[in-house]
Amino acid sequence: MPQVCHGPMSCRICWKPDEGTEKEFHDGKWRLVNDPGYWGAPDPKFLVLGMTKGTTQAREMSESFRNGTFDTAAFAGFRPRLLEALQIVGLMQGVQDIDPYLTAASRDWGFASIVRCSLTARDQNGTYRGNSGPVIRGMRSPEGAQIMSACVKEHLTRLGPRTRLIVLLGNDENYFRAIRQAMLSVFGSYDTLPGAGQVAFKSGGRLFVHIGHPSPLNGHFSTFRNGSAEAGQGRKRVQAQLGIAASEA
């Protein structure tokens, strides 16, 4: 089974030979930058996937090619919150520092994004940013859905049997829809776990669990952490915990 190595990736599955490293689609509403990367174990037990690199991470990734700081580019600026998000649902218990898990020395954990290239959305000032709401709308556009499905097919169908759990950062209802569309497109299956809503599901023979996105821009993260289990983000927390428990059964 092919393994993916820690470091920048050469994937250009969505790019024509003459397209360079940047392209816009849907009349310039969204931009894609060819800067894919992967962090961690080559054959992980657990794979954590963000949506795509946000504004800060994309900048860090660009700079890493010049200054050799690749290891620090992923989830730059909110790694403690990433660790907290994983611990909230029952993962990485007892871990104090997540940084070593995002290096080539990692044995069980892998990190990347569902869209490996950087997908950003143009704001009203003409600046491209990684805010999740507009980016998810881009993922659900015809061009974005095609990119997302291509990423899933290229990278998730290559995983070995050791990868038993894939954690998806983000539990917005629109993101659920974007993920479901991609999974059905590639695997032809999307089977939710009983009692887990759309937070935990099986597709292509693997278990996927959505958790609250730890970005500082996510104003719902505190509710994911502490909210009532009866509704909203609190209920999604409990559903995610159910999914994680199912993966360990």
- Per-block mean pLDDT, blocks of 10 residues, the chain (249 long): 81 95 95 95 97 86 80 93 98 97 97 96 93 95 97 96 96 98 98 97 97 94 95 97 91
- Both tokens of 204, joined, read 């292509």
**β-bridge partners, 101:** none
Q: Which amino acid is at 12?
A: R
Alpha carbon distance 207, 192 (integer Å): 9
Residue ranges per structural domain of the chain: 7-248
pTM of the model: 0.95
Distances 202 to 165, 189, 209 between C-alpha atoms, Å: 10, 8, 9
pLDDT of 181 reads: 98
- Domain 7-248 bears CATH identifier 3.40.470: yes
* The three-state (H, E, C) secondary structure of the chain, written as one string: CCCCCCEECCCCCCCCCCCCCEEEECCCCEEEECCCEEEECCCCCEEEEECCCCHHHHHHHHHHHHHCCHHHCCCCCCHHHHHHHHHHCCCCCCCCCCHHHHCCCCCCEEEEECCCCEEEEECCCCCEECCHHHHHHHHHCHHHHHHHHHHHHHHHCCCCCCCCEEEEECCCHHHHHHHHHHHHHHHCCCEECCCCCCCEEEECCEEEEEECCCCCCCCCHHHHHHCCCCCHHHHHHHHHHHHHHHHHC
pLDDT of 54 reads: 80
- Both tokens of 248, joined, read 């360990």
Contact 156, 186 (CB under 8 A): yes
Alpha carbon distance 144, 195 (integer Å): 30
Contact 85, 75 (CB under 8 A): no
- Both tokens of 136, joined, read 């998810």
Contact 207, 200 (CB under 8 A): yes
Alpha carbon distance 10, 181 (integer Å): 26
